[in-house]
Structure 1
């Protein structure tokens, strides 16, 4: 046996557990909520099974304890009668109770409990469970469960700061304070370390990304410099061999790409259809030495492919009754190839320009390489883009066009005025390169002071196109205009050029111009810019031009297409008077050849503009817009150069179809469309066939016709409807109507060409066709979007003007 001393008394520790007491006990805490039967079963069978002290809830006393004793101030009095009675009753199992009793005493001392009443039975039960659990430290609630006044003691133990009032409280408080401080310092150091680590990782990743981007940027810059150098080298070879190339077999790679800025491309509806409106470039194959590879911005249906195949198999130079042989037909079909880049399927909504799509289409590039291998080839693009150089470098062929940087510089409205100024041609009164509001107001005040005959002023955004970025403001809304006009007439035109005389009017204009613009300036196309505030913001951000609208009620605009050959020659390819739609500044079509300006005058202007472009390293296809009107003061015709586009125009593409279908030639020097009329006669072997007679024809070309209801008709149904109304082309007489198709899915946009013996007949046929198509596909209950109505109205105005001019010519003709 072994004896141990506990709190001044001794006990004997046995090696075996004692049996539970055979007395009435308070129910154990774990079974207080159970029935009496279950409680008695637990007493008889599970007293020897150890219980987990953590699962013992705080008990509620049911009966008075048989062995109670008290602990005062955490100290047990071993001489107390109640404790001696409890000890004597449990002498056989005292060793298992000692450790629980010591733990209870320490708990009471630590929390300075003044009085604790212990239930002996509960202490024994708790000791049994604690001893069976290898004397692990029991929870505080388990020790308090052996007390009869557990509620009072528990409330005291749970009181904040009570631990530091008991035994060793000062040391415990110091230890707790030090641990909290160490935790705070460690936590702060950890957070600081984490922040520094995160910052270091962020800096390292950022620097790595910056380094990689810089390397990629340098590589791209080096690649673009190399592409530009290769472009210049190939351009020199193209210029040196241009005459030879034009007279020999060659392959033309047509890429009708619209290399606008990303903002412009994303704001254009049906961007792929817009790029495909020059599909008539295929008609270049009318030259037997030319093979065309046309890069299409969208997948074409079989209906369009069959249509253009049959169209291009016709020969306008032959009689319509003659048919091609099988060999001739196959050679004609092999003369053109239509390819669609595979990247079209990967970027359907990005509105990428065609050159970019082709750049990211390796399979299409590889096929083009195979097609042009060993042949003379060059690229004819659209609106210049930097990816044009990448495509040309990949294919190893030259580009018939200017450098992208040069094109971007001179294709703006301000750049066009610089070209016209260098060419010494007449331009509207105005000012270019405006970037601030004060500059706009001051420039406009000076222009108003010096040009009293101008009734409307135009504001053009530099980078916009097709009349989208144009606004106007009429001078009649300016309140001080009448007073300024009186001042002008009072001083006279000779004295008015003196600055001090203009000063009062200039200052008055400066005061009223801001309000005048805010209230009366209107964008020409509200779908692009809904109000003047939005337009002015873009105008000042991108720069623009202020210029006068021709001071006349009858203004005719015309477009001339030039080819600036690499060899230095300027060739006029097409010329036509514009036809407008809903507003005067957007051209929908044209009448070819033009009849508003004397051909020699027009040729002189275009030659000077072409030479000015060549001096600025601009080659390729250039489109020049002119405006002509009658000066009421001198009764002389004025011609103003108003715009230049360094690109292949829609009018030129339609002209190629015109020449393909008629087999004629457009002589811009004489202003005539000459068409040969073949006469089928039988000649003897010794007779020489007579040269076929040549007749003049006039054509109306419309490349931007739009009607939303056209999507309801498939192309074969549309052509059946046209044939039912007698709309078609007579190959024998070289007269009639030909359509241009752009897409198979939406089918809302088409092109149309009418050819007749005189201009009046071509206009009447064009207007009749539009009216018939509109009536067939429209009804009063349907809401359609179309430009047919406005175009018909403008054609009627032109026809009325033609009739008036004929009557005036008859009156002015002297009698014989």
Structure 2
């Protein structure tokens, strides 16, 4: 990636650009103010080795299509850039969700651009490699009335901001360490937020195993360790080392003996990414660094998350809490979420999330951030949930777009005192969301086919009741049989029913032609079960 230190004045120029956003910081949500030009760059600027493991990763650029709903503000203009062109059917679907705005009026204020490049490179890099495209974007943006939003910031987004002379509403890449695994642990320690015992950042296998042996020595009853690459996405980059087969032969005495046992167990690691091996995983350690942590065990175990917002002038606000739905061999892959998190702990994780946000704000961070937790309790011991923070995400995440869809479609407000979201008519709102409704039978469904099914079975979001289902990742349906959706209801039960209806209808519509094909398990509606 480009490094600003190579050009002495560019870091200062970037900070001066971002400082212009403070003039607009009277609102918690700058993104919802009218009469701005918004450049949306849904770039997944993450490690390419991990990006390639995400099936249909290019279509995750559709996650930020909820931002089209900003065109409900009559003077807002929006430029949306993607690697590959978006289907007109998908764009029409989002514009039809706009309340009270003629379709043609909204469409005239939307400019869609594409790099026509399906490679693994970050989208922002692809844009920078096309100077004519950069110039077209620059000419379309009004000076002093424009800003950039992105999925996550990196030196690529920073360079694009400088090339365009437009501020980036996101964390400076200089702060991204605080969203890494090791940076998160440092923030948690400084904020007094409970988190698992573990190691500092290591850069080679020998040092990592030595830290793991010391951790095992501190916690001799430990059943599992988790090794994490310092930069990961959606649970990718994690490996679990099971100690239970070793422990049944008795405790291992010296640190050197423990290192030897751990090294012998590396061939038995369980990886979050399917098909991963220690050989491939360990090759990334010198490049990315890695930590080792105690794996949190528990008979009753959940994975809630907090989402906060830091304004350009440093104010911290609560946005939401969620219970995440996780899958994979050891329950570390993000599949979906439900809103809000359970009332037994949602205000507690919100309080801890605010503590984290205050430290991040003091370091100069801005825009959305998330904090993932693990909560456990042991039946018969204590009714209280033990809360442990796992990591910080200095970016938009899997819980961002469903919550923004809820907020924009219902015009309601999140109440931080209760952790609930209330619509304009005083009705509480709940939802179940997923990026991973994926089955082999869905292969071959085009966006137009999905629209036909939605219309025929009345699966659409109802603007009169502010309930129903909103779809995303529609571009991934034909090739990967993969779809995203957010089902909004006036209760958890109603949201679950909307979600289940969509799945039942899609199964019925595709069973005649694909009944012989295997399918992946459906998203579990009983999200509180299992060992996450």
Aligned-pair distance for 1:700? Answer: 0.8
What pairs with 1:261-340 in structure 2 (closer than 5 Å)? Answer: 261-265=47-51, 268-286=54-72, 290-312=76-98, 315=99, 324=100, 328-335=102-109, 337-340=110-113
Matched residue, 2:370? 623
The answer to whether the aligner puts 1:416 opposite 2:184 as a matched pair is: yes
Deviations 1:594-644 (A, max 9, x none): 225534322211111111212333222212211111156554312111111
Matched residue, 2:305? 559
Unpaired runs of 5+ in structure 1?
A: 1-216, 316-323, 485-502, 677-692, 802-816
Which structure has more helix as a fraction of its residues? 1
Aligned-pair distance for 1:269? Answer: 4.7
The answer to whether the aligner puts 1:369 opposite 2:138 as a matched pair is: yes
Q: TM-score, normalised by structure 1?
A: 0.59
Secondary structure of 1:311's partner?
coil
Of 502, 516, 521, the residue aligned with 1:769 is 502
Give the Cα separation in 1 of the matches to 2:181 and 2:21.
29
Matched residue, 2:250? 483
- The answer (yes or no) to whether the contact 1:286–1:660 under 8 Å persists in 2 is no
Of 724, 743, 750, the residue aligned with 2:483 is 750
Matched residue, 2:526? 796
- The answer (yes or no) to whether the contact 2:430–2:489 under 8 Å persists in 1 is yes
Matched residue, 1:431? 199
Give the Cα separation in 1 of the matches to 2:493 and 2:168.
40
Give the Cα separation in 2 of the matches to 1:635 and 1:799.
17
What pairs with 1:13-162 in structure 2 (closer than 5 Å)? Answer: none
- The answer (yes or no) to whether the contact 1:256–1:381 under 8 Å persists in 2 is yes
- The answer (yes or no) to whether the contact 1:654–1:703 under 8 Å persists in 2 is no
Unpaired runs of 5+ in structure 2?
A: none
Secondary structure of 1:743's partner?
helix
CA distance 1:288–1:594, shift in 2 (3 Å)? farther
Secondary structure of 2:434's partner?
strand
Deviations 1:383-435 (A, max 9, x none): 2222212221222111122222332x233211221222222211111113122
The answer to whether the aligner puts 1:255 opposite 2:41 as a matched pair is: yes
What pairs with 1:565-576 in structure 2 (closer than 5 Å)? Answer: 565-576=311-322
Secondary structure of 2:318's partner?
strand
Give the structure with higher Rg (CA): 1
What pairs with 1:402-801 in structure 2 (closer than 5 Å)? Answer: 402-407=171-176, 409-452=177-220, 454-479=222-247, 481=248, 483-484=250-251, 504=253, 506=255, 509-515=258-264, 517-527=265-275, 529=276, 531-539=277-285, 542-583=288-329, 584-595=331-342, 597-630=344-377, 634-676=382-424, 693-743=425-475, 746=479, 748-778=481-511, 782-784=516-518, 786=520, 789-791=521-523, 794-796=524-526, 798=528
Which structure has more strand as a fraction of its residues? 2
Secondary structure of 2:244's partner?
helix
Of 10, 27, 36, the residue aligned with 1:227 is 10
CA distance 1:764–1:452, shift in 2 (3 Å)? farther
Matched residue, 2:22? 239
Q: TM-score, normalised by structure 2?
A: 0.88
RMSD: 3.1
Matched residue, 1:57? none
Secondary structure of 2:377's partner?
strand
Give the number of equivalent residue pairs: 524
Give the Cα separation in 1 of the matches to 2:103 and 2:144.
22
Aligned-pair distance for 1:299? Answer: 0.5
- The answer (yes or no) to whether the contact 2:210–2:259 under 8 Å persists in 1 is yes
Give the Cα separation in 2 of the matches to 1:270 and 1:701.
18
Aligned-pair distance for 1:287? Answer: 5.2
Deviates more, 1:615-624 or 1:238-247: 238-247
Give the Cα separation in 2 of the matches to 1:374 and 1:543.
41
Aligned-pair distance for 1:472? Answer: 0.8
Give the Cα separation in 1 of the matches to 2:75 and 2:286.
49
Deviations 1:303-345 (A, max 9, x none): 1222222123xx2xxxxxxxx4xx755444445x24223xx23
Give the Cα separation in 1 of the matches to 2:126 and 2:450.
32
Aligned-pair distance for 1:449? Answer: 2.9
CA distance 1:286–1:594, shift in 2 (3 Å)? farther
Aligned-pair distance for 1:724? Answer: 4.1
Deviations 1:227-281 (A, max 9, x none): 3221111122323552289466323222111112344445555342123332222
Give the Cα separation in 2 of the matches to 1:428 and 1:662.
38
Give the Cα separation in 1 of the matches to 2:475 and 2:273.
25
Secondary structure of 1:701's partner?
strand
Return the structure number with greater relative CO, CA threshold 8 A, min gap 6. 2
Aligned-pair distance for 1:293? Answer: 2.5
CA distance 1:477–1:537, shift in 2 (3 Å)? farther
Secondary structure of 1:618's partner?
coil
Aligned-pair distance for 1:790? Answer: 4.3
Secondary structure of 2:200's partner?
strand
CA distance 1:330–1:339, shift in 2 (3 Å)? closer
CA distance 1:363–1:785, shift in 2 (3 Å)? farther
CA distance 1:287–1:505, shift in 2 (3 Å)? farther
Aligned-pair distance for 1:723? Answer: 4.3
- The answer (yes or no) to whether the contact 1:741–1:751 under 8 Å persists in 2 is yes
CA distance 1:700–1:300, shift in 2 (3 Å)? same
- The answer (yes or no) to whether the contact 2:152–2:170 under 8 Å persists in 1 is no
